[in-house]
Structure 1
Amino acid sequence: MPKERPLKPVSSNQEPLRRVFSVDDGIQEIEDDIRYLEGLQEGLKFAAANRKTSGNVNTPPPIATRPNLVSHKTSDLSIIQDTDRLAGGDASTDAAPGDDEERGSVASRESYTLRERQDAINETHPFGIRIWKPALYKKHRSVQRAADEDIHETKYKRISWKVHVGNNIWAATVGIFLLAFLSSCGLLVCLLGLFTQPSVEYASVLFRLGHYLFWPFGKVVLIISDQQYLHEDQDEGISAQQFYNWVTGHRNRLYFHNSQAGSGNYGSTGSDNNNTDRHRRLFGRGEWSFGRFWFYLVFYVFVQPVSLLLAFLTWLGVFTIPMSNVLWNLMYHCRRHPLALEFKTLRHSVNGIKDKNVLLCTFRCAGSHYYKYTVDGTNVIVMNLGAIVVFTIFQFYVLQNHIFPMNGSLIFCLCLLSIIPLAFYIGQAVASISAQTSMGVGAVINAFFSTVVEVFLYCVALQQEKGLLVEGSMIGSILGAVLLLPGLSMCGGAIKRKTQRYNPASAGVSSAMLIFSMIVMFVPTIIFQIYGGYLMDCPPEHQEKPSRCYFRQPPLKFDGLYSHVIKPMSIFCALILFMAYIIGLWFTLRTHAAAIWQVPEKQSLNASSQLGFIPEEEESEGGHDGPNWSRKKSTCILLGATLLYAVIAEILVDCVDNVLQQFPSLDPKFLGLTVFALVPNSTEFLNAISFAIHGNVALSMEIGTAYALQVCLLQIPALVVFSIIYTMNYPNDSIVIRDQMFSLVFPRWDLLACMVSVFLFTYLYAEGKSNYFKGSILILLYCVMTLGFYFQGAIDNNNWDN
């Protein structure tokens, strides 16, 4: 077969491109698009010229077929039409324009990095594979450079009034406390040491430390070199000249500490011998004395616990992370070499630090950008919420009964907050494993672990006869996925751009699958509504006012209709739904695997690569674009988070009764429709809104569709099978079907709400355009449907004839 000719860039003498814009586009957006396209053409010419001079003839196959990145601007634009082989090379364009931090040098063509795998998954969004916005790979962030290196701004005259306000708040609260506390500790060391010279020397360290922490801004912490420990201290801090260079030319930063010395730019030795001969120094160094003994006794009993507690609290405050780093590093240096520390004001220390290394310097106590700070690929806010998980479990099982009883509603709220970080860790672990393994393994892990945690929660609720809670959670998950999530995403995407366009053909498969799921899921409901029969209720004849009769449908019972028709039909529909999921996975693995996981020809030595096999990468564990979590680490986090989720689910369901008793007007189904349906999916909402803000609203709506399909094709069949197995040994006349089982028989309002919502979502999705008007329509419809469910519970619980 003849080889396909690569797409060549448009030359300057060709007919100008026709650009079609509408009133949906802003004037500034049109100008930005034109400049982008013109720059793109110049870049393609340059790439083609480099290719001719390089003499590289053999071009590896493209990594993945990327969607049209420009056709959302105009349907007649002929540049970049579903190809990655522009000018015969790899044109790797980030799906999130404007996020310059996520752009970087793509790895060589022989290596398929984790970043490229995640981009391929997010751009092709294959069925059954987890879509994840946070980077699964290591990357250099601006906030990471500012926080990991602990650098902000340096010049006194550039400090804003906001920084001054925060500094004064620190001095008036924590600073004055630390000054009094450390001064008292220093006085205690002097008293216990009988005011000997060593005790006075060690006590002076605490006095100076207290004065420093009262107002650390604009001061430097120095280390005095000792001839006996030169080899040990050679990597501590930076030299005076390096510090001067940082102060005068490091892009107006406001914070520095000695972790910056490990970057390779500071220090006189390489990184090979770092920490190799370093001693732990739990009790300092030098000769033992009476004063040294009392200093470390006071240090470990009073100073360090209080300082580390404050460091922990300031870390939880997120914005005060700089002071957390200050306290943590000061405790480290006070433990290793307290007598070698010296504190000086930066304005008056130019001549006093020539022969000393600088350990720490700060000009601020807080930074507004620290909410973006990540630790090991995890946002610091999510990581801090993990403390609530530990506290909730400890409170419920240890403190609740006798030591420190807490209100059940408060524990319920703590459980809801605990679900958020656990759901994030489970989602990131699943996405990380999926991106580092074959597609088959990733799909199976995503199907199991993304479902088992919520299914376990609902199974516990069914065991405690809270079937209405489960019913509301299922309906609420579907409504949230097809109305609230895409509505918020469209409105979020309109913040930066009035209208976002995408290929409407991509909505075809997902929309058809979603409508199919809705139809199959409500078949038992339709049968019961048609053939279930109705009762006529009339008021007593002795009432004076005219009597009115009502038709009502009795609740579902273990009668002949249920045993011979509805129950077999529910089982069959559940199997059909699960079979549809298996067919979708098979379609993805057999048809789209090569397009997503395609590797260079040199590595495609057998047919296993067509099934999504990913070769091992020895160099991917470290460095830029390497995985944040290895497969082993991801597996451990996934199992641990799943176990903690199961424990939190038990506590959550146990506390539901307390909430319902405290709020008697709250219907269990409405509680499931709102709280139980939305809180476990908070990570899906955050991912979708983040995608939309960065210009990929189609992927945001795909997240909602994928979750709705996961509910219909996995969670609902699992609950149907569990409820039948769980009640198998119960007498039929003792089972309340709506409380103890999930029978796939819903009220008529549930059927109407889900069908109307799904059809409106698929209609708007198929138009190929997104704006805040459509998003508002979806959100308003969600509010109307939710209010209808509230009144549904009120109608069921009241006798309106009275």
Structure 2
Amino acid sequence: MDYKSLVGIHPQLEMNSLDKRSMNECEDESLFSPVETEAQKTELIQAADQRSFPGRLQADGDKMLWTVIYRSIKTVVFSNKLNLLMPFGPLAILVNKLTGHHGWVFFLSLLGITPLAERLGYATEQLAFYTGATVGGLLNATFGNATELIISIYALKHEMIRVVQQSLLGSILSNMLLVLGCAFLSGGLVFHKEQVFNKATAVVNSGLLLMAVMGLLFPAVLHYTHTEVHFGKSELALSRFSSCIMLLAYGAYLYFQLKSQQNTYDPIVEEGSQSGDSPHDDESPEISKWESMIWLSIITAWISILSEYLVNTIEGASVAWKIPVAFISVILLPIVGNAAEHASAIMFAMKDKLDISLGVAIGSSTQISMFGIPFTVVIGWIMGRQMDLNFQLFETATLFITVIVVAFMLQEGTSNYFKGLMLIFCYLIVAASFFVHVDPSTVGQYKKPVD
């Protein structure tokens, strides 16, 4: 084939390719009009989206869920240095399985419960952002005392009546003397002035505490004067009757606080609205309402697990450390259980919000005395345990004197660092008294027979 023929073929091939290309374009144009082409493109895009949307939605949902979980764990678990003590909880269980040394198991359980009690208070505070100030305060007091109530229920299960009585008594003493004293002291040192709080709330709480003292005093007097109609039964019957009355009184107090006198018991909000300041003016929730509820459930369940190990090793720890069970029950356990109240009361006092500090400390004491103690009596009644209100003469006298001292401190409606220091010194005297106190029910006799 010569060069000319090749030159002739090449243009022909180009013409053929151009003809085919133009024919294909004509066919495309003939098959689809511009309107139809646009409609089909839209349909194809929608079909593609429908095929990929569930997958994308599921992937985005999973990613968002894991992001929320990661952020929640980071906020609740890794945001507080006290949470470094959390591994001691699993370590206590491991030591119990491997060695069974009661002293170490008790100590590690105590350390493990401490951050959990504080985180329980944190989750409650987060939930309070969504419930309002009044309900939030009640939630704070309720879950703040959840640790003591859980420990008490496990002690009742093991028939350790005196441990229940002394730990609840210690919680009241700790809140009224140590927690309130630290709040007064820290607030006074920060502001260098007398802080003012609502005297009406303090008077009502003092009255409820005196009523609780009355409920505890009469069974003890009945026992020590030997004036029971039916020996061994009248004291228990009186305790159960008084407990029911105290629960009714606490229910009436809640109604009075929430409904009848809402303005009287929410003074900090009114003052804040006048000055453009509110209890949560500089704060916002860090986790959602559902996250708060889920964390409350998880932390409460974990505290319940560790509480069983704690209760089971109290007497063994007392023998190993040569420390009276009364001191462990009245001083050590409540300090751990009141970690949340302690931190909250000091924090609010340093922000010059003493009404909230007073509500946390005195409100918690009121709830333990008017609800926690009668509640354990009723629960013991249901469980067949002889839990009564006879807290023995030494403990009842300690509570009575404490309530009188705190009532005198609160009567003026003002606080300063000196009053706080006095309350802390009073608590040190109480702690030293229980360290040298021999309980009438000696170690090994902490159980009362079942009905």
**TM-score, structure 2 normalization:** 0.70
Matched with 1:723 is: 380
Q: Does 1:384 align with 2:84?
A: yes
Matched with 1:755 is: 400
Q: Residue 650 of structure 1 aligns to which amino acid in structure 2?
A: E
Q: Cα–Cα, structure 1 residues 671 and 704, in superposed 2: closer, same or farther, change >3 Å?
A: same
Q: Provide the C-alpha distance between the structure 1 equivalents of 2:129 and 2:78, rounded to a whole number of angstroms.
A: 17
1:743 aligned counterpart, secondary structure: coil
Matched with 2:242 is: 573
Q: Residue 573 of structure 1 aligns to which amino acid in structure 2?
A: S
Could you tell me how far 1:681 is from its partner in structure 2?
0.6
| Cα offsets for 1:112-151 (capped at 9, x unmatched) | xxxxxxxxxxxxxxxxxxxxxxxxxxxxxxxxxxxxxxxx
Q: Does 1:410 align with 2:104?
A: yes
Matched with 1:471 is: 165
CA contact (8 A) 2:216 2:396 kept: no
CA contact (8 A) 1:485 1:701 kept: no
Matched with 2:255 is: 586
Q: Provide the C-alpha distance between the structure 1 equivalents of 2:283 and 2:178, rounded to a whole number of angstroms.
A: 34
Could you tell me how far 1:777 is from its partner in structure 2?
2.0
CA contact (8 A) 1:468 1:668 kept: no
Aligned residues: 358
Q: Provide the C-alpha distance between the structure 1 equivalents of 2:178 and 2:140, rounded to a whole number of angstroms.
A: 23
Matched with 1:97 is: none
Matched with 1:696 is: 353
| Cα offsets for 1:559-589 (capped at 9, x unmatched) | 92332x2222111111111112211211122
Structure richer in helix, relative to its length: 2
Matched with 1:98 is: none
| Cα offsets for 1:639-679 (capped at 9, x unmatched) | 1111101000011112223312213x422122101111211
CA contact (8 A) 2:213 2:400 kept: yes
CA contact (8 A) 1:455 1:718 kept: no
2:235 aligned counterpart, secondary structure: helix
Q: Does 1:662 align with 2:356?
A: no
Q: Does 1:458 align with 2:158?
A: no
Q: Provide the C-alpha distance between the structure 2 equivalents of 1:445 and 1:575, rounded to a whole number of angstroms.
A: 22
Q: Provide the C-alpha distance between the structure 2 equivalents of 1:443 and 1:692, rounded to a whole number of angstroms.
A: 15
Q: Cα–Cα, structure 1 residues 635 and 770, in superposed 2: closer, same or farther, change >3 Å?
A: same
Q: Residue 75 of structure 2 aligns to which amino acid in structure 1?
A: V
| Cα offsets for 1:154-182 (capped at 9, x unmatched) | xxxxxxxxxxxxxxxxxxxxxxxxxxxxx
Larger RCO, structures 1/2 (Cα 8 Å, 6+ apart):
2
Q: Residue 576 of structure 1 aligns to which amino acid in structure 2?
A: I
Q: Residue 515 of structure 1 aligns to which amino acid in structure 2?
A: L
CA contact (8 A) 2:120 2:340 kept: no
Matched with 2:214 is: 519
Q: Provide the C-alpha distance between the structure 1 equivalents of 2:99 and 2:442, rounded to a whole number of angstroms.
A: 32
CA contact (8 A) 1:511 1:762 kept: yes
Q: Does 1:375 align with 2:75?
A: yes
CA contact (8 A) 1:574 1:717 kept: yes
Q: Cα–Cα, structure 1 residues 447 and 787, in superposed 2: closer, same or farther, change >3 Å?
A: closer
Q: Cα–Cα, structure 1 residues 594 and 698, in superposed 2: closer, same or farther, change >3 Å?
A: closer
Could you tell me how far 1:698 is from its partner in structure 2?
4.3
| Cα offsets for 1:364-397 (capped at 9, x unmatched) | xxxxxxxxxx83597421343333334444x15x
**TM-score, structure 1 normalization:** 0.41
Q: How does 1:163-562 map to 2 (within 5 A)?
A: 375=75, 379-393=79-93, 395-396=94-95, 400-401=96-97, 404-405=98-99, 407-437=101-131, 449-503=143-197, 504-532=199-227, 560-562=230-232
Could you tell me how far 1:706 is from its partner in structure 2?
0.8
Question: Structure 1 regions of 5+ residues with no counterpart?
Answer: 1-275, 281-373, 534-558, 600-623, 728-739
CA contact (8 A) 2:195 2:416 kept: no
Q: CA RMSD for the aligned pairs?
A: 3.3
CA contact (8 A) 2:222 2:235 kept: yes
Matched with 1:687 is: 344
Work out which of the residue numbers 412, 427, 431 in structure 2 matches 1:782. 427
| Cα offsets for 1:583-608 (capped at 9, x unmatched) | 121112223557869x9xxxxxxxxx
Higher-Rg member (1/2): 2
| Cα offsets for 1:713-752 (capped at 9, x unmatched) | 221112111222222xxxxxxxxxxxx6321112222222
Matched with 1:239 is: none
Could you tell me how far 1:795 is from its partner in structure 2?
7.9
Matched with 2:296 is: 638
Q: Residue 685 of structure 1 aligns to which amino acid in structure 2?
A: H
Q: Does 1:647 align with 2:305?
A: yes
Q: Residue 150 of structure 2 aligns to which amino acid in structure 1?
A: F
Work out which of the residue numbers 756, 773, 790 in structure 1 matches 2:418. 773
2:191 aligned counterpart, secondary structure: coil
Q: Residue 691 of structure 1 aligns to which amino acid in structure 2?
A: F
Could you tell me how far 1:458 is from its partner in structure 2?
1.4
